[in-house]
């Protein structure tokens, strides 16, 4: 009788009823392969599974390679993303794209850790420490001096998957101490969130 009740409960739980489409199922080793970076940074990273609804309206599972110190934030934020059904195209560690930010953005991939410099500078990006994440680059491009990155992107504030000042997601990131590139003055990086640790 107890076993029957448990089975009934599991069948009534939406996530058990819903098929989950796997976008990424890497091992930690796969997520960091193909690039050299300091062991000090490697030791701070963790690969986490996240669930979200994609633009097909179906539940997906992806992965985010992130700094352990912001793991709690990312898990909470993706839970909110899932609950409100804010569409995420995909979330796959950037090693799948040979550590090429352009390739990842053009594929509308949401990603976090990438050991690289800020474009056009010799300064290490917050992505290099697992303290930044980019969400839906095609809906939320980086716009600088009239140029759009990636080139195939389009910023339309009313389109699904787009981030604005009024977005629940933006407010929830900021509430947790993250800054949003959409608030920058010299350029607008609508996909980008970063957190400066104290």
| DSSP calls for 53-120 | E-TTSSEEEEEEEEEGGGHHHHHHHHHHHHHTT-----B--GGGGTT-HHHHHHTT-BB-----BPTT
pLDDT of residue 16: 54
Alpha-carbon span 63 to 26, nearest angstrom = 8
pLDDT of residue 1: 57
pLDDT of residue 194: 98
pLDDT of residue 7: 46
Task: Output the DSSP codes for 180-197.
Answer: EGGG-SS-EETTEEEE--
Q: How distant, in Å, are the alpha carbons of 74, 116, 130, 164 from that of 45?
A: 13, 15, 7, 29
- Residue whose entry in the numeric block shows the structure tokens 């930690």: 28
pLDDT of residue 117: 83
Q: Do residues 178 and 195 lie in contact, with contact meaning Cβ atoms separated by under 8 Å?
A: yes
pLDDT of residue 2: 59
Q: What is the mean pLDDT of each run of 10 residues along the chain (198 residues)?
A: 51 65 98 96 98 98 98 98 98 98 97 89 91 98 95 96 98 98 96 94
Q: Do residues 116 and 122 lie in contact, with contact meaning Cβ atoms separated by under 8 Å?
A: no
**Strand duo 45-53 + 59-67: pairing:** antiparallel
pLDDT of residue 4: 47
pTM over 0.85: yes
Sign (positive/negative) of CA torsion 95, 96, 99, 101?
Answer: negative
pLDDT of residue 62: 98
Q: What is the H or E stretch that residue 147 is in?
A: strand 147-149
């Amino acid at each position: 009788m107890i076993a029957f009740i448990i089975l009934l409960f599991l069948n009534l739980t939406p996530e058990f009823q819903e098929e989950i489409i796997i976008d990424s199922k890497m091992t930690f080793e796969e997520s960091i392969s193909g690039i050299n970076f300091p062991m000090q940074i490697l030791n701070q990273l963790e690969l986490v599974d996240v669930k979200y609804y994609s633009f097909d309206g179906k539940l997906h599972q992806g992965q985010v390679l992130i700094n352990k110190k912001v793991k709690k934030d990312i898990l909470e934020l993706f839970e909110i993303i899932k609950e409100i059904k804010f569409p995420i195209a995909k979330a796959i560690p950037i090693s799948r794209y040979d550590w090429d930010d352009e390739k990842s953005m053009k594929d509308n991939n949401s990603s976090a850790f990438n050991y690289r410099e800020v474009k056009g500078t010799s300064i290490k990006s917050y992505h290099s420490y697992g303290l930044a994440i980019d969400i839906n680059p095609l809906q939320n491009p980086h716009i600088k001096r009239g140029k759009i990155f990636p080139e195939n992107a389009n910023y339309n504030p009313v389109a699904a998957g787009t981030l604005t000042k009024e977005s629940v997601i933006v407010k929830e990131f900021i509430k947790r101490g993250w800054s949003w590139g959409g608030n920058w003055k010299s350029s607008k990086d609508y996909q980008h969130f970063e957190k400066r640790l104290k």
